[in-house]
Amino acid sequence: MDCKTACVLMSAAVDGEISFTEEQDFLLHLSQCKRCREEFDDAKKTKMIIKERIIRFRAPQALITTIMQLTDFNTRETEETLLYE
Amino acid sequence: MWAIIRIHLEPGRFQIMDKPAPTHQTNIPTKKEALPREERQKQLEFQNEAVVHLHSLYNYALHITMNPDDAEDLVQETYLKAYRFFNSFERGTNCKAWLFKILKNNYINRFRKNSKEPGKVDYDLIKDFYHSIKDTRRDSSEADTDYFYSLLHEEVYQALLSLPEEFREVIQLCDIEGFTYEEIANMVDSPIGTVRSRLYRGRKLLRAQLEGYAKKYGLNTDNDQ
C-alpha cells in the first residue's frame, strides 16, 4: 500500500469502518511510514477531542414536556424513565 | 396544547418521505383512557424508539440552527412529523438516524422558505449564546500534557464552527452522534466514499485550527511528548 491509498482509508480506519484485509494492509503501511503513522494518530486524537470536549446540552424542560405529551400523559414518571436512566 | 405547525415533506430515502403531504394537523387525543389500544401501543413504541433520542436531536438542532428557539421548534416539528408517520419507520433500522434525517429535511425546508443561506452564522451571537449556557465543567485533573487535551469546549467548538459546512456536518454526525458511514451517507445524500474523504479532510482542517488555538494560548504544540 502507498501513502495515497493509506490516506483514502485513514478516516475509515479511525472509525472502524474498514474491512479486515484493508486494515491489515493499512497497519502494515503504517509500520513502514512515519508520516502516515503520525497522521493516523492525529486523526484519532482529533476524533477523541471532539467527542470529549463538545458539551452536550439537555433539552429544555418545556420541550421535553411537549414531546412527552405527544406520547404519554403520565409525563413525569415516563420522562424520568426514558431520558434520565 | 399543541401549536398548529405546517409540515412539508421532502423526497428522501426513508419511506416516510414518500408519503403525500398532509393537509391538516393530526388530532392528538387528550386523555389517556380515551385512546384506542393501537394508538396506545404506537405511543409506547414511539417512546422507546424515538423519544429516547430527544437530547441528541436537540443538540444537533442547536448545532445547525445556532439558536435555542429555532432548535426547539425544529425538534418539535420533527417529533410531530415522526409520530404521525411512525408506521412508515422501518422496524429494526436506526430510529435515531431516521429522526435526524427528518430534522435535517425540516431545517433545509425552513431555510428555503425563509430564503436564508445555511452556513452563514453570526459568530458574535454564537459566542454570547454559548457563554450564556455553557457548562462550567473543567477537567482540572487532566493528566495528559498534550496540548490537545488542554483545549476547552470553546476552542474546540469554535474550531468546529470554522470548518466549511460539508466537513463540519460529517464530523458532527460521526464523532458526536456516532452514526455509521452508511447512515451518514443517507443523511447527507452522498456516497460513502464522499463521507470518508470529507471526514479525512475535515479532521485535517480541524487539527490545523486546534493547533492555531494552542499556539495562540501559548501551549506546547510539539508532537514528541
Q: Do B148 and A49 touch (CB under 8 A)?
A: yes
Is residue B131 included in any domain, yes or no? no
pLDDT at residue A25, as a whole number: 93
Residue boundaries of the structural domains of chain A: 3-53, 57-85
Who contacts B213 (Cβ-Cβ below 8 Å, separation ≥6)? B151, B155, B158, B159
Q: What is the mean pLDDT of residues A75-83?
A: 59
Last residue of a domain, one of B98, B114, B130: B114
Is residue B163 included in any domain, yes or no? yes
3-state helix, strand, coil in chain B (%, to 5): 65, 0, 35
Is the pLDDT confidence value at A5 over 80? yes
Contacts of A56 in chain B (CB under 8 A): 55, 59
Q: Do A54 and B76 touch (CB under 8 A)?
A: no
CATH number of the structural domain spanning residue B194:
1.10.10.10
Q: Do A62 and B72 touch (CB under 8 A)?
A: yes
Residues B187 and B104: beta-carbon distance below 8 Å:
yes
Is residue B39 included in any domain, yes or no? yes
Is residue B183 included in any domain, yes or no? yes
Buried b (16+ CB within 10 A) or exposed e, B75-110: bbbbbbbbbbbbeebeeeebbbbbbbbbbbbbbeeb
CA distances from B210 to B23, B151, B205 (A): 48, 8, 9
Identify each DSSP E strand in B39-198 by its residue range.
Answer: none
Who contacts B19 (Cβ-Cβ below 8 Å, separation ≥6)? B9, B85, B88
**B158 and B98 share a domain?**
no
Structural domain for B32, as ranges = 15-114
pLDDT at residue B28, as a whole number: 52
Residues B56 and B96: beta-carbon distance below 8 Å:
yes
Cα(B195)–Cα(B189) distance, integer angstroms: 10
Q: Over its length of 225 residues, how does chain B's per-residue pLDDT go in tens digits?
A: 333 333 333 333 333 333 344 444 445 555 555 667 777 788 888 888 899 999 999 999 988 887 888 899 999 999 999 998 888 898 888 999 999 999 999 998 886 666 445 444 445 555 554 544 444 333 333 334 455 555 667 778 888 888 898 899 999 999 999 999 999 999 998 999 999 999 999 999 998 888 877 777 665 555 443
Residues B14 and B22: beta-carbon distance below 8 Å:
no
CA distances from B83 to A11, A59, B6, B127 (A): 35, 19, 14, 34
Is residue B195 included in any domain, yes or no? yes
Is residue B82 included in any domain, yes or no? yes
Instruction: Kindly calculate the radius of gyration of chain B based on its CA atoms and give it in whole angstroms.
Output: 20
Cα(B184)–Cα(B182) distance, integer angstroms: 5
More confident residue, A49 or B25: A49
CATH number of the structural domain spanning residue B24:
1.10.1740.10
Nearest to B176 among A45, A54, A69 (CB): A54
Is residue B77 included in any domain, yes or no? yes
Q: What is the mean pLDDT of residues A53-80?
A: 76
**B23 and B104 share a domain?**
yes
**B170 and B109 share a domain?**
no
**B108 and B25 share a domain?**
yes
**B24 and B98 share a domain?**
yes
The residue behind cell 434525517 is B101
Is residue B10 included in any domain, yes or no? no
Nearest to A7 among B46, B54, B200 (CB): B200
| C-alpha closest to that of B155 among B218, B224, B68, B62 | B218
The count of domains in chain B is 2
Nearest to A53 among B2, B55, B153 (CB): B153
pLDDT at residue B7, as a whole number: 35
pLDDT at residue B10, as a whole number: 36
**B107 and B154 share a domain?**
no
**B107 and B45 share a domain?**
yes
Last residue of a domain, one of B79, B114, B149: B114
